Each structure stands twice: as C-alpha cells, then as structure tokens.
Chain A
C-alpha cells in the first residue's frame, strides 16, 4: 500500500502507468471508492510461482493529493479499508509504505499497523528523524523495528552493530537488519524489483533475511 500520499512512487517499481488507474487510495480515503477498487493484482506481472501480491496505489495527480491532504484523515475509515482488504484477499501481510517523515498519513498508518519498521540511513539527518519517529511511535505501544540502509562500503559490520547497539541503548527498538549501499540497486533506478530480477544477488539474500525477520513478527 503506497501511503506516501505526498509523493507516491511505488508504481515505478511495478512499472504501472498511474494514468491507467481508475481508483487510488486517495479515493478510498475520500470515501468515494471501496478499497478493493483501488487494488491492483500483480501476481502475474511479477511472475510469482506461488502466492499472491496486490498493490494499492496512491494518486500522483497534484489536485487529488492536495484534496486528500486538505480533507484530512479518519482512523476508522482507514482501519476499515485495511481490514476489508485483508478479508477480501486473505492477506498474510499488508505492508504500508509511508512518507519518510512524521506527517498525518504516517501517523494514521502508525495507528493502524501491528508492527512498525523504520528504514534509515546513518547520516545525521536520517538518524535524527529516526530517533524522533521512534520516540513518537512508543506512544502507540507497538513493536518498532529498525533497518539501517545504504551503509557505506568502507564501514565494517562490527561498526554497524556497534552503532545499532548505541541506538538500542537509548531507544526501545529491535534491529531487524542492515543493508549496504548497492550500486546495482541504485543502477536499477527504481524501475524493477531487484529480488525478482537477480534472485542470486547478495542484496537479494539480505532482503530475504529481512523478509524472514518480518515473518517472525507474527
């Protein structure tokens, strides 16, 4: 679910033309479309051998983005939409990708989710924002997991773990994994899903480990 209403971008990964979408999550939040109407089945497109994957896009039209942000959000409506999707499609996991900051849509997702996963680089700005996000999230009393991302190649794993321990000493957060900076990921320019294109790539292995961690949440 692309809940980054201020700047949606997941459609690029899935190679979907946003102009072909009849309904988006913005319509669901506005109450003009049921959640399943704003849901795209990607199983065939992703050539999955098993399982199902659905994608709930957000609108890229500026007018609709502004309308949604101005209208505001209502927890129950979003919660009901999430529940309806879970029941309709028998979802095992529903991943909500939010805006990288504390916006209203982020808080709404925090209110509805069971677990929160924060992906952060280890630069000053991201770590500060991550710290604030963790502090705010603790008020929701839900498990928080942290993935450190784009770790520079010269940084050793021991140093990453040391930094993770420092974060862990100050905040209640679980380290779910870390991802090194990858030229291949950057090179794909968000045009495809790396784990499907290069299943034997080292980054794919790391993504799988994080996915296994997520499976362990349940």
Chain B
C-alpha cells in the first residue's frame, strides 16, 4: 500500500489457491499498521511471495477525502471528518466557494482525544451551486503533507410533486377549472416559490398551457383554466411535465409527469322564467323577455333562442325567434293575441341553444281571455264525463298494476347516466387510478423506446 506521501506499507496473507483466480482479503490500515489520516489516492499492489517472488498480480487504488461524498444535492447534509491531528488541538476549518468563505466559516473546532475532528454543513434549497473547497489546519499539529483539503460540488435538488388536485372532476363548458399541487424538496420541506406550466390537453389532442404559481395564503401552487362554450366535450388531461417546475432557485422537478383528468360537459344554459301577472285579451301583445346565462352567470348572447306558445298541448304560436337586446341584456320577442286564439292558460316555453350543443329551457304560464272558445281540452276537463273517464282509468290502472307487479320489476331499473358519470368522474380522480395510468403510460413509452432501439 502506498499512501499519498509515497510511503509504502505491506502485509502478507497466506491462502491456498482454489483455481486460476481467487480472492484474498486484508484490512487497511489495521493490517499494515498505517492510517488513513492523509487525503489523496492510496495505491494497492498485490505481489506473490512464492513461485515468482515480488511479481505483481493485481493493482488498485482508493481515495480518502474529508467529506462523505464528492457531490451533494441541495438540502443534503455534508459530513466533514478528518484525523491525524494532535489530540485536543484547535483546528481551523474553512469552507469556501471561490475566494469567499461560506457563512459561519472559517470555524475553529477542537479535536477529540484521538486527534479526530468531525462537523457537518447543512445545505439549503438556496445554497449557491458549484464547487466548494474544505480546508483544515491545526494550531499545534505540524502542517500535513499533503494538506487537508477537499473539493465537492453542490447540485440543484429535485422537487417532488405527488399529484394534482382539481376543484372538480367534471365541469360544464364555460366553467373554470382550478388546479392545485404541492411541491416538496428532497428533505420534505415544501417549495414556497416558483412556477410551472400545466399542459391542458383536449380530447382531440389540442394543447393549452397555463401557468401555476405559488399562492402564499393557501400555501399551494394554483392555476386556472377557463373553458369556453365551444370547448371540446370529453375527458381532458392536465399534465405537469418532467422538470417543468422551477422554484426560481434553479431547483426543478418532477422526475415523472403528473396527470389529472377531468370531464368537460355541454353547458346547461340558465333561462330565467318570464313572469306574467296580467290577463291578456285579443289584440294585446304578449311580451317575451328572458335573461339567459352560462353556468358562470355570464350573459348568453350568441345562439338561437325560440319561444313556443302552447295551451294544453295545442300549439298556438312558435317557435318564435327571439333576438338579443344588448341594452337590456335580454332576449326579446312578442306575440299578438288573436281573437281566434283559445282562452285559458297558455304556456310559453323558451328554448336556447348554440352551435356547440349547449342548451337550456324554461317556461312560464299566462292567462288569456279571448272571444275564442275555451281550449277543447279545458272544456272537456270541466265535464263530468272527463272525471268518469279518469275514475275508470284509475280502476284499470290498478288492475294492471296488481296483475303485473311481479313481472315488471326488471323494467323499474333506470339508467341514471348523469349519476353514473358523476360517480365515475370521482373514481377517475382517484390517486391510485391515476398512478396506474401513469405507470401504464411509462410502460408504453418504455416498450416503444426499446422497440425503437431494437429496430
């Protein structure tokens, strides 16, 4: 064994060969009466003691340093240790980057009774990146040759993002989706600064990018994506790509992409009910004013809005096209009551739609008294024959019900699609499901890469 000063020590081991090659073990420095108190390269040379005396059969080397690693990620603890000093000597330890000492350095540490010294330096998320130099010298210990010095490097730390939280697994067009996530450093402490782009992908593959930034009041990263009335319906994917996050201090992450799925559904337009207090007679104008809003309470201004007037199933007028009146912020239209129109209760049904499939509907009733006859249905309602018929139908209905009770149970099964999709959306946002999908994606990518490599 040759230490960094060039001094050689040796130990002899006897072993019986078990073949053309075999292992032989020795402990350095104990077996050689040496030490590892000097930094630098220690060279190993194994020579034979019989057959070819002194012939080298194996060589090697190892390095002794002052730190437990040659490089560290920010937030790692740098362990510094040295030996070979006079017991209880005062040793000056300096840690510098370039020509500048790191805060709290140089420092004087006292060696223990074995002449050893040990200390640690905690890096932080903001520790300056690059090479650092540790040097040591004792007050009473003669200068070591080679001197105790060590270079190590500090790299950025990885940031982990375990998942993206969504305010809802399903939104209607025009609604805004909120993304939230927490970012943590290697040591588990949260990232409190920086930003990350979130790639929002439509079902047809079109990408949109939004930027998440830190919200100090909520102590989380947030981003918002506002859908429009023309947004594609279906399953959208929010993706935080690999290394897309930066904390502003050159630390980045995540190491694997993070996904969140959500469903975009057609908007259900809210149609305000028209209120009619007066009774209309022939020749009067029935005004129709409706306010239509999107799920985010914004006025619906472009599309098709119609009004259909009926009375007990009989169509009286319509569909009448309504026009948007910007000054009122409402859709308007009217109908003039004719003398031949039936008297009674009318129903005004408003239907709103646009070219993207967003729809809404509402209706209101009004009283009309014209010279025209009562609606045949209404006059029929007032006759005793009607009530007799109702009674007969009830009796027959009960009969059918009793007769078929046992056989119709299966027909009572209803397919509540909305409830099913709502429940499914909740499952789709489950962390484990997303983890499985992420693993599947990685596997697919890995297989594709292997195939490409093979080709």
Contact = CB atoms under 8 A, between A and B. Distances in A.
Interface of A: 74-76, 79, 102, 104, 107-108, 110-111, 122-124, 127-128, 131-132, 135-136, 139-140, 151-152, 154-155, 159, 163, 166-167, 170
B409 A152 contact: yes
Nearest to B235: A139
B432 A104 contact: yes
A135 B439 contact: no
Interface in B395-409: 406-407, 409
A79 B420 CA distance: 29
A136 B439 CA distance: 17
Interface residues on B, range: 20 to 34
Contacts of B414: 124
A209 to B, nearest CB: 22
B436 A110 contact: yes
B437 interface: yes
A59 to B, nearest CB: 21
B415 A170 contact: yes
Contacts of B417: 131, 170
B261 interface: yes
A128 B416 contact: yes
B427 A163 contact: no
A108 B439 CA distance: 10
Contacts of A107: 430, 432-433, 436
A139 B421 contact: no
Contacts of A108: 436
A163 B428 contact: no
B32 interface: no
26 contacts: A74-B439, A79-B443, A102-B427, A104-B432, A111-B439, A122-B410, A122-B413, A124-B412, A124-B413, A124-B414, A128-B416, A128-B423, A132-B423, A132-B424, A135-B420, A135-B425, A136-B427, A139-B261, A139-B433, A139-B437, A152-B409, A152-B410, A154-B406, A166-B415, A167-B415, A170-B417
By CB atoms of chain A within 10 A, which of B412, B414, B427 has the most?
B427
Given A110-B436, A135-B420, 8 more contacts: A75-B436, A75-B440, A76-B439, A108-B436, A131-B420, A132-B423, A135-B424, A139-B437
Interface residue SS majority, chain A: helix
B115 to A, nearest CB: 47
B218 interface: no
Contact of A75 (B409, B427, B439): B439
A19 to B, nearest CB: 31
B406 A75 contact: no
B61 to A, nearest CB: 38
Nearest to A135: B424
Nearest to B425: A135
B50 interface: no
Nearest to B439: A75
Nearest to A133: B424
B419 interface: yes
Interface in B337-390: none
Contacts of B437: 111, 139-140
Given A76-B439, A128-B420, A131-B415, A136 B409 contact: no
A76 B443 contact: yes
A199 B436 CA distance: 40
A68 to B, nearest CB: 14
Given A123-B413, A124-B413, A170-B417, A136 B428 contact: yes
Nearest to A110: B436
Given A76-B443, A127-B415, A135 B432 contact: no
A110 B440 CA distance: 11
A217 B267 CA distance: 38
